[in-house]
Amino acid sequence: MVDFGWVSTSGGLRLFQGDHGLVAVPLPMAGSFDIRIKAKGLPNRWKKPRVRAVKARDRKGRVGETVDFAVENEEVFWRHDGTAFSYLLDVTP
């Protein structure tokens, strides 16, 4: 995994704040890879963020299944399956 400070990954992705949480968009054709996001890197408006769910989304933004994820040492970890277009992290501030 490559550590970029508040995000570590063995693939490529784009992260941005969406209307309902943090959105992770893996680069196309990347295959499956691991994603780890440190809570301290989440937007400042979330003082003590807690991720309640990681949900896969398709190209049209429709929410699909909830993805298995873990929280360890204030880091959220899951594996991109190579098929989801993006992921929505449901975050409680």
In the chain, domain spans: 2-92
Q: For residue range 32-83, what is the model confidence (pLDDT) as tens digits?
A: 999 998 877 665 555 566 788 999 999 998 989 999 999 888 888 999 988 9
| C-alpha to C-alpha distances, 88 to 5, 76, 78, 83, nearest whole angstrom | 21, 12, 12, 14
pTM of the predicted structure, to 2 decimals:
0.84
Q: For residue range 11-39, what is the model confidence (pLDDT) as tens digits?
A: 989 988 877 778 999 998 878 999 998 87
